[in-house]
Amino acid sequence: MPPETHGEVVYEAPAELWSGLYMLFSTLVLIGLWRRITWLICLGASIGLMTNVVFAVAAHEAEFGYLLEKGAARDAFQYAGLLLVAYFYPFKGKSE
């Protein structure tokens, strides 16, 4: 991940950290939706929101990070929406 496109913060951390975070929060959301566990969806969406905000802010500071900034900001808004929907409209009936 070159610092010119991803920013210094993302460049300093190993790529395995970022890929592990992406696999973690997407898996938490997937399992939460599959098993109808609201708190698991909220946890995965929160981690996804924070990770994508870090990517968007770091790419904003980078020289060629325009596309990454816009994509990460879009994903952050999607996870924020998922978090709000899961929090305010939890699953009814069988869950957990």
Q: What is the pLDDT along the chain (96 residues), one digit of tens a residue?
A: 677 777 777 778 888 998 999 999 999 999 999 999 999 999 999 999 999 999 899 888 888 888 889 999 999 999 999 999 999 998 876 555
pLDDT given for residue 64 in this prediction: 85
pLDDT given for residue 79 in this prediction: 96
pLDDT given for residue 34 in this prediction: 95
The answer as to whether 16 is a domain residue is: no
Give the Cα separation of 35 and 65 in Å (integer).
Answer: 37
The residue to which tokens 């610092």 are assigned? 3
The answer as to whether 83 is a domain residue is: yes
pLDDT given for residue 68 in this prediction: 87
The answer as to whether 47 is a domain residue is: yes
Helices (H), the chain: 3-6, 8-12, 15-35, 38-61, 66-88
The answer as to whether 80 is a domain residue is: yes
The answer as to whether 82 is a domain residue is: yes
Q: Which uninterrupted H or E stretch holds 2?
A: none
pLDDT given for residue 96 in this prediction: 52
The answer as to whether 17 is a domain residue is: no
